[in-house]
Amino acid sequence: MMFIDSHAHMLSRTTDDYEAMAAAGVVAVIEPAFWLGQPRTHVASYSDYLSSIVGFERFRAGQFGIRHYCTIGLNSKEANNEELAEAVMEILPRFALKEGVVAIGEIGYDDQTELEDKYFRLQIDLAMELDLPVMIHTPHRDKKRGTSRSMDVCEEHGIAPSKVIVDHNNEETVRECLDRGFWAGFSIYPSTKMGTERMVDILKQYGPERIIVDSACDWGISEPLAVAKTAKLAAQKGVDQEAIRLVCYQNALDAYGQSGQMKEEDWLNPPAIDQRTVYEGNSILRGQREPVVETPKSRRTMDDLIIE
Amino acid sequence: MGDTPSTLLRNWITRQAPPPAADWFDGQIDKLLGDPAQKTFDIAFGMAPRKLGKDDLVLSAEDLAAADAARSGWNPAQWSIDVAARVCFLIALSKDPSQPFAARFKDLHRTADLGELLALFSGLSLYAAPETLVDLAAGGLRTNIKAEFEAVAHRNPFPAEQFAINPWNNMVLKALFVGVLLEPIQGLDERANPELARILSDYAHERWAADRLVSPELWRCIGPFAGDEYLDDFRRVVAHGKPTEKKAVALALTTAPPSAGKDELCAALSAYAEMIASGALTWRAIADEMLDNSLAITRKLNFEVEMTR
């Protein structure tokens, strides 16, 4: 089965992760622009970060047979540094039209401050101007209200809910999100967001329509195989294959494909120029091995350490 | 005749692209020639692959001959249509006297995505005031992205024309180091120099010490300086090398200065003399042997596999 991990901060991940993801069937990842665990204090470092996710990281992923896309935006945490935020807003339009940019995101609220609100709204307008989807980061604290408020603001600005992916949902937010017509993302990030077992229960309750499973793997303790593992557990618990395909692959493609920057042909039948330059092709698509969900044998155990 | 690179590119793009995309492209060029404002350029440059796609530029042998006639050494054989369009926009921008092109190049490079990087460097030989772009081009060679390196180094007359000896030598050594073919680098024979020969011989010795293979292409740059100092390297290949390596040494010896050692080696490699004389054994043929046919589209070097067979 092919998987898309539509929320993965690959810049923070190792080559082992890329290998494991490719072996598990991940054909594409989306790297949302976010903060790096500590605040940036200069616009230049923000600019270089955006350059990395449209450039080198895209290339790096391609070496492992994984197509890399990204979203461009000013995150809610750094929106609170007004001087930085103003400067970042200036450079965003230039990055938002780079190849492989599938949305403006992840944007939204953290502490739900006035500055967060201001830049969230400005970026929704930018997305509408550029006809790009929006990826919303819903807050960890005061989550339910923050999620409702995020959708209120989207409606107020007139962006179609079908162009907005509301991420980091949980049992408390999913109903409203789906009822209002938005895409509902779930980040399988057990310590703070959502676990695999809970996710399968949600799938059983709500069905697959407009639900997207992602890993949100980053620099913290997180699981780059979360999408594949959720698919495996869901199958074991009797969720049908088509539903699994929708939430672990097709829905993400439909939602972010609205950008015009992400197509199935990108990995099934890539242009010759890409094959010469940035994309090595996926070993699973080349039929070399069966998809596996387990991490390939850890290289870190001494048992099978090969001395070359 | 008398076509400029810009008019050639324009013709090739508009004949290949479907009408709405071709019209868009023509419109952008006209706009840019009238008013090269940053925003006009950014939109054209950014939108090129969205409007035109990324198919390979379809060029005949006549087109390639016209390219070489318009700008000696220019070889767009492996360009895609979006690279062609972006280079066309860059040529227009480089004619704008209001701002030095090198400054604009630097600014674009700072925020470029992969496709834009390829365009910036592929067109190096076609922009005004190329001498102002030397450091930027050398910077492109510091990349970890092979395709970006190749955009500067391969089928591009810029390095041989503009690089001083150090960046030139660094480029050749790094090409070997990162597994990029030397054959598509223009001016390899003209720019051969004793310092490069020494660097490459040292590099070969390092590889051998680590029990690793040495690219057969390396000997091409040592050939003209293969007096006693380097003939031992050649002897080692003749004694222990694979067929492709021996062929390469036989070719390299054709440029070596006369010596008794050279004569001995040529005698040992006499099996290849006929192939060299008939033109069947060339550096292009060596490069082809290094490319795995099944991976030809991706230009992956199958050199190590080939060598250990």
In a domain, A289, yes or no: no
* CB-based contact A271 B297, cutoff 8 Å: no
- The CB density around residue B306, as the number of other CB atoms within 10 Å, is 17
Q: Cβ separation of B111 and A50 shorter than 8 Å?
A: yes
Please tell me the pTM assigned to this model. Answer: 0.88
**Quick count: other Cβ atoms within 10 Å of Cβ A240?**
11
pLDDT digits (tens, 9 = 90+) for A74-86: 999 999 999 999 9
Nearest to A98 among B53, B78, B113 (CB): B113
Could you report the per-residue pLDDT of A83-109, keeping only the tens digit for each?
Answer: 999 999 999 998 998 999 999 999 999
Q: Which residue of A has its CA nearest to B113?
A: A55
Give the domain extent around A141.
3-277
Burial track B1-25 (b if 16+ CB lie within 10 A, e otherwise): eeeebbebbbebbeebbeeebbebb
Q: For A133-180, how does the pLDDT look when each residue is reduced to its tens digit (9 = 90+)?
A: 999 999 999 999 999 999 999 999 999 999 999 999 999 999 999 999
Which of A51, A100, A276 is opposite residue B111, by nearest beta carbon? A51
pLDDT band at A294 (very low <50, low <70, confident <90, very high): very low
Nearest chain A residue to B83 by CA: give it.
A273
Test mutation, B298, B299, B300, B301, chain A, max A CBs within 10 A: B298
Burial of B136 (0-12, 13-18, 19+ CB in 10 A): middle
Distance (Å, whole) CA B152 – CA A299: 37
Give the pLDDT confidence score for residue B162 in this predicted structure.
Answer: 98
Q: Tell me what pLDDT residue B292 has.
A: 61
Q: What is the tally of structural domains in chain A?
A: 1
Task: Let me know: does A196 contact A233? Beta carbons within 8 Å.
Answer: yes
A interface test, pick of B111, B142, B150 with most A CB neighbours within 10 Å? B111
Mutate to test the interface with B, among A90, A276, A308 (most CBs of B within 10 A): A276
**Cβ atoms of residues B172 and B200 within 8 Å:** yes
**Structure ipTM:** 0.82
Please check whether residue A287 lies inside any domain of the structure. Answer: no
Q: Which residues on chain A place their C-beta less than 8 Å from a C-beta of chain B?
A: 47, 50-51, 54-56, 58-59, 91, 94-95, 97-100, 260, 271-278, 280-281
Residue A132: per-residue pLDDT: 97
Residue A295 backbone dihedrals phi, psi, to 5 degrees:
-65, 135
- Give the domain CATH number at A50: 3.20.20.140
A127: closest CA of chain B, how far (Å): 16
Is residue A293 included in any domain, yes or no?
A: no
Q: From edge to edge, which strands make up the β-sheet containing A26-32? A: A3-5, A26-32, A67-72, A101-108, A134-137, A164-167, A183-187, A211-214
In angstroms, what separates the C-alpha of B223 from chain A's closest C-alpha? Answer: 31
Residue of A55, A59, A275 with shortest CB distance to B112: A55
Q: Tens digits of per-residue pLDDT, B247-257?
A: 999 999 999 99
- Angle between helix axes B228-240 and B260-268 (nearest 10 degrees) is 10
C-alpha distance from A8 to closest chain B C-alpha (Å): 19
Per the document, the length of chain A is 308
| Chain B residues touching residue A59 (CB < 8 angstroms) | 114, 144-145, 147
A70 touches A95 (CB < 8 A): no
- Confidence bin at B27 (pLDDT 50/70/90): very high
DSSP string, A130-195: HT--EEEE--SSSHHHHHHHHHHHHHHHT--GGGEEEES--TTTHHHHHHTT-EEEEE--TTTS--
Q: Which are the contacts of A7, defined by CB distance < 8 A and separation ≥ 6? A: A30, A32, A106, A135, A167, A185, A187, A214, A215, A216
Q: What is the pLDDT of residues A238-289, one digit of tens each?
A: 999 999 999 999 999 999 999 999 999 999 998 888 888 888 777 666 665 4
Please give, rounded to a whole number of angstroms, the shortest distance from the CA of A87 to a CA of chain B.
15
User: Which positions in chain B have a beta carbon within 8 angstroms of at least one beta carbon in chain A?
Assistant: 42, 46-47, 49-50, 53-56, 78, 80, 82-83, 110-118, 144-147, 297-299
In a domain, A141, yes or no: yes
What is the spatial distance between Cα B6 and Cα B30, in angstroms, rounded to a whole number? 12
Which residues of chain B make contact with A91, given a CB cutoff of 8 A? 111
Q: Are A138 and A109 in contact (CB under 8 A)?
A: yes
Among the partner-chain residues B42, B56, B114, the one whose CB lies closest to the CB of A58 is B114
Chosen from A15, A56, A95, A99 to mutate, greatest number of chain B CBs within 10 A: A99
Are A278 and B114 in contact by the 8 Å Cβ rule? The answer is yes
A187 CB-near residues (< 8 Å, 6+ apart): A7, A167, A168, A193, A194, A214, A215, A216, A226
User: B187 is written with which tokens?
Assistant: 């001016």
Parallel, antiparallel or unpaired: strands A134-137 and A211-214: unpaired
Residues from chain B contacting residue A95 (CB–CB below 8 Å): 111
| The two three-digit tokens of residue B221, written as one number | 């740059």
For residue B80, list chain A residues with Cβ-Cβ distance below 8 A.
271-273
Residue of A nearest to B117 (CA): A55
> Do the strands A183-187 and A134-137 form a parallel or antiparallel pair, or are they unpaired?
unpaired
B80 contacts A273? CB cut-off 8 A:
yes
Percent of chain A with pLDDT over 70: 92
- Token readout for B303 is 């050199």
Average pLDDT over residues B95-123: 93
User: Which residues in chain A touch residue B82, judged by CB atoms under 8 angstroms apart?
Assistant: 273
Which of A277, A280, A283 to mutate to probe the B interface, most B CBs <10 Å?
A277
Domain ranges of chain B: 5-163, 194-308
* A-chain residues near B116 (CB < 8 A): 98
A183-209, pLDDT tens digit by residue? 999 999 877 778 899 999 999 999 999
Give me the DSSP letters along chain A: --EEESSB-GGGS-HHHHHHHHHHTEEEEEEE----SS---SHHHHHHHHHHHHTHHHHHHHTTT-EEEEEE---TTGGGSHHHHHHHHHHHHHHHTSTTEEEEEEEE-SS--HHHHHHHHHHHHHHHHHT--EEEE--SSSHHHHHHHHHHHHHHHT--GGGEEEES--TTTHHHHHHTT-EEEEE--TTTS--HHHHHHHHHHH-STTEEEE--B-SSS--TTHHHHHHHHHHHTT--HHHHHIIIIIHHHHHHHTTSS--THHHHS--HHHHHHT----TTTTT-S----SPP--TTSSTT----
Residue B298 and residue A278: Cβ atoms within 8 Å?
A: no
Interface A–B counts its CB contacts (< 8 A) at 70
Q: So what's the pLDDT on residue B156? A: 97
Who among A59, A91, A95 is closest to B114 (CB)? Answer: A59
Confidence of residue A292 (pLDDT cuts 50, 70, 90): very low
B296 has a pLDDT exceeding 90: no
Nearest to A92 by CA among A146, A137, A132: A132
pLDDT at A153 (0 to 100):
98
| HSE (side-chain half, CA atoms, 13 Å) at A36 | 12
